[in-house]
Amino acid sequence: MSHMHLPIMPPVKPMLAKATQDIPHGGFSYEPKWDGFRALVFYDGHDIEIGSRRERPLTRYFPELVDAVAKNFTHPCVIDGEIIVVNESGTRLDFESLQQRIHPAQSRIDTLSDSTPARFVAFDLLALDDVNLMKEPLQRRRATLRTILADARSPIHMSQATDDHKTAQRWFAQFEGAGLDGVVAKPLNGTYQPNKRGWYKVKHERTAECVIGGYRTHKTGDDRVGSLLLGLYDDAGDLFSVGVCSAFRDAERKKLFTQLQPLVTHDPDHPWTRQRHDDGYRTPLHAQESRWSAGKDLSFTPLEPRLVAEVKYDHLEGERFRHSPRFLRWRPDRDPRSCTYTQLQEVVSYDIGDVLA
């Protein structure tokens, strides 16, 4: 981007947050934890570049945001934020639709920008005009950001923020119903440190008992388990694929492989056969329809659905876990048929419009 003229030039790695169990007290700015694509917007008054967390440009995939930046940004600047998509009913975030926005074909990009338009939620200001603001305290950066976006209109939004701990706790409880991840706490006097974990994130964590319906081997060897495939039964008694557990030490991977061999099955009536997938039934092959899985080997070894594991998860998105759960322990006392969606805590709905207001 040599043609751009800014005090901070792309690519830039965004500042990060480290996980903590409790919302910290005192001297913090609290914000909703948005569930989207982290993005840095570079605008020099003429040209626009949208950079990702991995320092790859997102500009071509979101032409509606390029237009919105040109209309709403009144000064050359570099702004940190999140790209989100809201569902058709306008009530909550829709990460699955957001994922579909990354497409190689320009015609498809144009279609999706109309059918599932994205929004940009701004929460930090790295540069303004010809001044690098990263050494300024967050409190000052955010006040300046609020000023320059005072007249901005959707799809450009300013993220809510508060320095009140009780408000942050309320947001943590309420905003999940709109599809948000949790709360981020940022030191009010903190500087902006690219690629450093100087912020704190608090996410929802719950446990569930899931059926182990299969496994995939690890890249280091076919005698090691790479991931366990998790399932939950629906009201009709069908075993739906809901996610994977994969964070195991190498010694555990070998031990798991040996333990699972007696349960390996070639039964064509296994709940996750290709035929069931082709009938619209959610199996581990469902992800092959996603461009994010292009080129990945999604084959797996089916297991008789007799083992139950307790896992820790943050939240569901539709019928699956949004992020990979963490294995906690085996539950030999649980009947696999009792592992249903009904065990999961139902989150009270909350309108995303109230979060974006």
- Told to judge if 33 belongs to the known catalytic residues of this protein, a careful annotator would answer yes
Q: Which two tokens stand for residue 337?
A: 């048929």
In degrees and rounded to multiples of 5, residue 78 shows phi and psi of: -125, 120
Query: How many CB atoms within 10 Å of residue 294?
Result: 8
Beta strand 301-302 pairing with 320-321: unpaired
* CA pseudo-torsion sign 152, 157, 161, 167: positive
Q: What one-letter code names the amino acid at 278?
A: D
Nearest to 270 by CA among 244, 306, 312, 297: 306
Beta strand 156-158 pairing with 131-132: unpaired
In angstroms, the CA 187 to CA 190 distance is 5
Are 7 and 162 contacting, i.e. CB atoms less than 8 angstroms apart?
A: no
Nearest to 7 by CA among 88, 75, 91: 75
In angstroms, the CA 221 to CA 207 distance is 30
Q: Which two tokens stand for residue 320?
A: 């699956």
Buried b (16+ CB within 10 A) or exposed e, 118-135: bbbbbbbbbbbeeeebbe
Angstrom CA distances, 217 to 133, 246, 254, 300, 349, stand at: 47, 10, 10, 8, 38
Radius of gyration of the chain (CA): 22
Q: Which two tokens stand for residue 278?
A: 């082709």
C-alpha dihedral over 183, 188, 190, 193, to 10 degrees? 40
Of 13, 33, 166, 196, which one is the catalytic site residue?
33
In angstroms, the CA 39 to CA 224 distance is 36
Catalytic sites, residue numbers: 33
